[in-house]
Amino acid sequence: MTVLLQGPAEGGVGHRLWMYSNYHCNLVCAYCLTESGPKVARRELDPATMLELAQEAKEVGFTALGITGGEPFLVPELPELLAELSQVLPVLVLTNGTLFQRALLDRMATLRGCDVTLQISLDHAEPEANDVMRGPENFRKVVEAVPELLKRGIAVRIATTVEEDDADDLERLCALHRGLGVSDEDHVVRPVIRRGRAETGEMGVIARYLDLEPELTITADGAFWSPFAPTVRRGVLDTDLLLTRTVRPLQRPLDAMLTVAGGRPEGADSTLNIR
Ligand code: SF4
């Protein structure tokens, strides 16, 4: 059982500090937690702030960083920023994997040898089923990008988000990711969470704070309980899982998180397995 009264150095809250680099996206997925899309407000954390937060995270005991959005690779300086962040702590970056055209792939070379892992979304083994939720050409772009990234020495995980269990579909998807060069250990499967667009569309499972791992998450709007927390519904930011509006010094939202975590009933570890 997680010891919730301790800080990240002792393993009390999640060891990874998450940062929302931005909220805009080139896609408009049906279940998007943040209602992201090309026309939404960007709400970016600027690169200098992210680097400073990474340093603070290391000082207070975090051992890894997570970058998410929105689509982080819409931030123009992202490859170089990831290289710098990885000099501080190992980085996991969540991406839809659709922007890796030649020019961006060339710039990704800067990440060879860096402790940076890309977690790319791919939900189904066939383009039709995949693209109905994520948009046209999504499947093709992802299956083309993964081998190109691996060829450049960049670590890749596949993340599958499913509305309902389908063992046959999952088996075909696993055969696909193995064929692309991604092992079973680097494939995560999680349910649609009923927040953001998924809530509007009445999809997915309901997640309250007891269901979500305490993983401190920093956005342009404040610090939240989990990367599944700073969601948007009908254009309005959800604040039910907001910890503090002030994010620096990082110790301040961390203290707020530890206070809340300390009030969780014994045994109330995460139940949804959504990381
Ligand atoms: S789920 Fe991800 S890829 Fe899809 S619209 Fe939202 S941020 Fe973009």
236 Cβ partners below 8 Å, 6+ apart?
A: none
Contact 193, 164 (CB under 8 A): no
| Number of CB atoms found within 10 A of residue 32's CB | 21
Q: Is 21 in the pocket of ligand 1 (CB under 6 A)?
A: no
Ligand 1 mean position, distance from CA 36 (Å): 6
pTM to 2 decimals? 0.92
- In this structure, what are the phi and psi dihedrals at residue 232, rounded to the nearest 5 degrees? -130, 135
10-33 residue pLDDT tens = 556 899 999 999 999 999 999 999
CA 124 – CA 139 distance, rounded (Å): 8
Contact 123, 164 (CB under 8 A): no
Which atom number of ligand 1 is nearest to the Cα of residue 26?
8
Q: Where are the domains of the chain?
A: 10-262
CA 25 – CA 215 distance, rounded (Å): 23
Ligand 1 mean position, distance from CA 55 (Å): 28
Of the candidate CATH numbers 3.90.550.10, 3.20.20.70, 1.10.240.10, 3.40.50.300, the domain formed by 10-262 belongs to 3.20.20.70
214-246 residue pLDDT tens = 999 999 999 999 999 999 999 999 999 999 999
33-84 residue pLDDT tens = 999 999 999 999 999 999 999 999 999 999 999 999 999 999 999 999 999 9
Is omega for the bond preceding 249 within 30 degrees of 0, making it cis?
A: yes
Handedness of CA 111, 116, 121, 127 (dihedral sign): positive
Which residue in 49, 97, 42, 31 sits closest to 69, CA to CA? 42
